[in-house]
Amino acid sequence: MSTTLEGYNFAYLDEATKRMIRRALLKAVAIPGHQIPFGAREMPLPYGWGTGGIQVTAAILGPTDTLKVIDQGADDTTNAISIRRFFTRVAGVATTEHTAEATVVQTRHRIPERLLREDQIIVYQVPQPEPLSRLEPRRTETKRLHALADYGLMHVRLYEDIARFGHIAKAYDYPVMVNGRYLMSPSPIPAFDNPKMHRMAALQLFGAGREKRIYAIPPYTDVRSLDFEDHPFRPIRAPHACALCASTDTYLDEVITDDAGGRLFVCSDTDHCAERQATAQEAAE
């Protein structure tokens, strides 16, 4: 461990804090989709940089792990690089940009395109863990609604969308029901990614730093996007092929290419796109 920063405990957090987070994580797994409060610590990165996800990652990470950090699908944003460097310094763990090589993936705003495996854990950075927060700002009240599994407010909100727009106008953070019991925020991932959560082989952990809450989805657990019989949930993507790898089934970002309004669509998952391009090149050679 000689490569880690002197003067810090392994993975930055003190052991009492890790125990507290670990106990919360185990109960979160036992009660899928239920938000559990935890005594979040100040981290050396500002809120909005994923302090909740970072604390969850710090509580689970060990020296044999390989960590991947993505932000909007990319490994090379300032946010992703900072978090990766942080864990290299305080835990000395190996890092990777390849989803297939990672044992722990910390993410903001995307789920990798490559199917995650049983030997992987995905940690989501969550800004607002309460799916009902915009409909009912009082935490005492949302706790009661979860206790009663009373999610009528959310159904009304989605149905109002259908009445106004003809479809549910929620492209991100589209609410899900976990194991048929708890309404859960999937964090601000595109609704396109929601189906990947359903019966995923990997364990899914969620950390909200500012709101100080943790929740989880065990492997192979039912995760259903809320919808209506006459308006079934449909994951949306831009109707284009990736300009770099020609994929027609991945989530795309629109990129402005010049001042004249030129634009193209490319995969948001940069590792997946690069892998597809490499495979295509090999096949051509």
Partner 1 sequence: MNGLTPGFADAGLTPGFADPVLDGQATFRAVLEAMSRPGRVQRAGSALRPPAPLNQAAAAVLLTLADADTGFAHDAGVAAEAWLRFHCGMPLVPGAQAAFVLATGTPPALASLAQGSEEEPQAGATLVLQVNALTEGTGWRLIGPGIETEHRLHVDGAPAGFVAAWAVNRASFPLGVDVVLCVGDRLAALPRTTMIAEG
What is the SS3 string spanning the chain? CCCCCCCCECCECCHHHHHHHHHHHHHHHHCCCCCEECCCCCCCCCCCCCHHHHHHHHHHCCCCCEEEEEECCECCCHHHHHHHHHHHHHHCCEECCCHHHCCEEEEECCCCCCCCCCCCEEEEECCCCCCCCCCCCCHHHHHHHHHHCCCHHHHHHHHHHHHHHCCCCCCECCCEEECCCEEECCCCCEHHHHHHHCCCCCEEEEEECCCCEEEEECCCCCEEECCECCECCCCCCCCCCCCCCCCCCCCEEEEECCCCCCEEEEECCHHHHHHHHHHHHHHHC
60 near partner 1, judged by CB under 8 A: yes
User: Is 69 an interacting residue with respect to partner 1 (CB under 8 A)?
Assistant: no
- Output 12 or 49, the one with its CB closest to partner 1: 12
Among 18, 109, 110, 196, binds partner 1 (CB under 8 A): 18
> Which of 73, 207, 209, 245 is the catalytic position?
245
Catalytic residue among 7, 33, 261, 262: 33
62 belongs to the catalytic site: no
Per CB under 8 A, 143 contacts partner 1: yes
Q: Residue 144 or 263: which CB sits closer to partner 1?
A: 144
User: Which of 234, 206, 200, 48 shows the shortest CA–CA distance to 112?
Assistant: 200
Stretch that binds partner 1, among 32-40, 228-236, 253-261, 272-280 (CB under 8 A): 32-40
Shorter beta-carbon distance to Zn ion: residue 15 or 257: 257
From the list 71, 242, 271, 275, which residue makes contact with Zn ion (rule: CB under 5 A)? 242
CB of 233 to partner 1, least distance (A): 21
Our finding on whether 221 is near partner 1 (CB under 8 A) is yes
What residue type is assigned to position 122 of the chain?
A: I
Q: Look up 267 and say whether it is catalytic.
A: yes
Residue type, position 63, single letter: P
Say whether residue 147 binds partner 1 (CB under 8 A). Answer: yes
- Asked whether position 219 contacts partner 1 by CB under 8 A, the answer is yes
Please state, in angstroms and rounded to a whole number, the distance separating the CA atoms of residues 78 and 176. 30
Binding span for partner 1 by CB under 8 A among 20-28, 127-135, 150-158, 231-239: 20-28
36 part of the interface to partner 1, by CB under 8 A: yes
Asked if residue 15 binds partner 1 (CB under 8 A), the reply is: yes
Q: Give the length of the chain.
A: 285
Per CB under 5 A, residues contacting Zn ion are 242, 244-245, 247, 267, 273
Q: Catalytic amino acids?
A: 33, 242, 245, 267, 273
Per CB under 8 A, residues contacting partner 1 are 9-11, 15-16, 18-20, 22-32, 34, 36, 59-63, 118, 143-144, 146-148, 179, 181-182, 199, 201, 203, 217-221
